[in-house]
Amino acid sequence: MKSATRTAALITGAVVALVAPVAALRAWSEPADPRLSVGAARAATLLPGDLRDATGRMVAGAVWTRLVDYDPATGAPVNAAAESVTSTDRKTWTVRVKPGGRFHDGSPVTARSFAGAWAAMLEAHWAGERLLTNVAGVQDGAKGIKVTGDLSFEVRLERPFTGFPALLGDPALSPMPESVLASRDWAGYARRPIGNGPLKVASADERETVLERPGGQTVVVRTVPEAAKQYSAVEAGDLDVATQVPPNRHESMDTDFRSRHRAVPGRTMTQLAFPAWVRALADPSVRQALSMAIDRSAVTEGPLGHQSSPANALVPPGVLPGRREGQCRLCVHDERAAVAALADAGGLKDPVVLWHEPADAAWVKAVADQLRKTLKLDVRTKELPAAELAQAIRDRKVDGPYVVRTTAAYPAPAAALSPLLEAGTGYQDDYTAEQINLAETATTPEEAVTPARLAETALLRDMPVLPLWTPHDHLVWSERTSGVAADAFVGLRLNRLTSKE
């Protein structure tokens, strides 16, 4: 019996020994998957006018060609699907679409492809609506967009706006085919969108979105929401690009990937806003003291897990044209100067309450601890859901600094500064408002830079909002991947990815 068992074991071992080399040989001989794979969280939707997350914007950036794109070196807008975007008064804009453009189904890209898509977005109140209403200020909603020819349409704004051409690079302002505009089957279009860009949606489900390049390489965006899984998959060769890096691997990126990693500067700024109706916070010296008492690096490297960069200006680093580095001297951590500034202002006797949403609890606690330690203040925190916090700000029930986030809608300093006047603080300064207005209505983007810088200087002096940090994206990629490029407004440029193999 023992002999039979031993014989069976020997035979099993021999089979395993034979199968293993065969499997290895098959794996070696089979061609590698020629497709490039990218890990990301699943997009909420691929309906361009309703894009709400980074993955959706990333995919849209490759599936559609917008009227303008952004220069990778300068961030400045350059014509893409547009032949020209012109205006004599910066209030009424004429857009001419390049002839010969085609959607992936072969239908032509016309003026109505854009104008109709924008009108649908306004009527349905999709997420991109604010770009045309709040930012551009389109007059009378969809009535302010008028098709004037097969390849031309007109957009009337409520006031002059120099940034209009730059705004047209947002993926939310992508075109839709005539057949979709006629059917109004938005849900069906979101499941299988038809674009006019370099990559075509071949299939899309919960697991992956397959993007084909005619005559070129296919890119697969796989649903891998966990940063750790993305990172490990690229290390193992099972994924070509990770769009997130876990906090515990931040320090090892250079060792793990050498030159194959990159931080992508962002366009959103996290700030503490000071309500003007709270008398104890009215003195700018008090706000300046609080700013210098915060060690931003300690928070971004601690509770924020290396996913943000400390602020050194009011314009986020991803807003390239016209941005100046290091403008916020009061953002530098200086405990001695903070104590002196608060003493000069007469101190703070009342408790300081930091208002925030639940998701910000960890880092708000860290900031509160820093303020207690450095300035010996009675610092408390007040947590409210987003909607309740917004209502409390509108009702002026907030009695201390509160967390706000502002996002530049297009690449220009004015786009980052203008939202600060709408942060609900009640801050009013005629000079600052005038400079921002001059920047938004300047004759050219170049002429807009100077007034925007003057406005930034004034805001940093009065500090109605205290800049904290800017979230950024991380990318790591495999050895076979090249052409990795990204920006703050579209994200990873999927259409530029290529394989070295």
Q: Look up the CATH number of the domain holding residue 306.
A: 3.10.105.10
Instruction: Identify whether residues 287 and 382 lie together within a single domain.
Output: yes
- pLDDT at residue 16, rounded to an integer: 42
Domain count, the chain: 3
In a domain, 2, yes or no: no
- pLDDT at residue 227, rounded to an integer: 97
In a domain, 121, yes or no: yes
The mean per-residue pLDDT over the stretch 95-101 comes to: 98
- pLDDT at residue 456, rounded to an integer: 97
CA gap 90, 92 in Å, rounded: 6
Residue 172 clears pLDDT 90, i.e. is over it = yes
In a domain, 370, yes or no: yes
Instruction: Identify whether residues 493 and 439 lie together within a single domain.
Output: no
Helix axes 361-375, 335-344, angle to 10 degrees: 70
Instruction: Identify whether residues 181 and 218 lie together within a single domain.
Output: no
- pLDDT at residue 421, rounded to an integer: 87
CA gap 344, 184 in Å, rounded: 63
Q: What is the CATH number of the domain that holds 79?
A: 3.90.76.10
In a domain, 142, yes or no: yes
- pLDDT at residue 74, rounded to an integer: 87
Last residue of one domain, picked from the residues 132, 163, 185: 185
CA gap 33, 24 in Å, rounded: 16
In a domain, 11, yes or no: no
Instruction: Identify whether residues 424 and 280 lie together within a single domain.
Output: yes
What are the backbone angles phi and psi of residue 70, rounded to the nearest 5°? -115, 135
% of the chain at pLDDT higher than 70:
93
In a domain, 26, yes or no: no
Average pLDDT in the chain: 92
Residue 501 clears pLDDT 80, i.e. is over it = no
Last residue of one domain, picked from the residues 185, 220, 243: 185
DSSP letters spanning 93-134: EEEEEPTT-B-TTS-B--HHHHHHHHHHHHHHT-TTHHIIII
- pLDDT at residue 10, rounded to an integer: 39
SS3 content of the chain, % helix, strand, coil (to 5): 40, 20, 40
pLDDT digits (tens, 9 = 90+) for 34-89: 899 999 999 999 999 999 999 999 999 999 999 999 998 888 999 999 999 999 99
* Residue for token pair 């940063």: 227
* pLDDT interval class at 1 (50, 70, 90): very low
In a domain, 453, yes or no: yes
Instruction: Identify whether residues 295 and 208 lie together within a single domain.
Output: no
pLDDT digits (tens, 9 = 90+) for 413-431: 999 999 998 888 899 999 9
Three-class SS of residue 434?
A: helix
- pLDDT at residue 425, rounded to an integer: 87
Q: What is the CATH number of the domain that holds 208?
A: 3.40.190.10
In a domain, 153, yes or no: yes
CA gap 436, 406 in Å, rounded: 16
Instruction: Identify whether residues 360 and 483 lie together within a single domain.
Output: no
Q: Count the Cβ atoms, other than its own, within 10 Å of residue 230.
A: 25
Q: Has this prediction a pTM greater than 0.75? A: yes
Instruction: Identify whether residues 328 and 437 lie together within a single domain.
Output: yes
Instruction: Identify whether residues 223 and 95 lie together within a single domain.
Output: no
Last residue of one domain, picked from the residues 185, 217, 251: 185
The mean per-residue pLDDT over the stretch 255-275 comes to: 96
Torsion angle of the four alpha carbons 275, 281, 285, 289, in this order, in degrees rounded to the nearest 10 = -90
- pLDDT at residue 32, rounded to an integer: 64
Residue 14 contacts residue 22 (beta carbons within 8 Å):
no
Instruction: Identify whether residues 320 and 340 lie together within a single domain.
Output: yes
Instruction: Identify whether residues 402 and 282 lie together within a single domain.
Output: yes
Strands 308-310 and 219-223: unpaired
Token code pair at residue 289: 């003291």
User: By residue range, what is the domain housing residue 404?
Assistant: 268-471
Instruction: Identify whether residues 424 and 488 lie together within a single domain.
Output: no
Q: What is the largest CA-CA distance in the chain?
A: 99
Instruction: Identify whether residues 234 and 148 lie together within a single domain.
Output: no
Residue 431 contacts residue 384 (beta carbons within 8 Å):
no
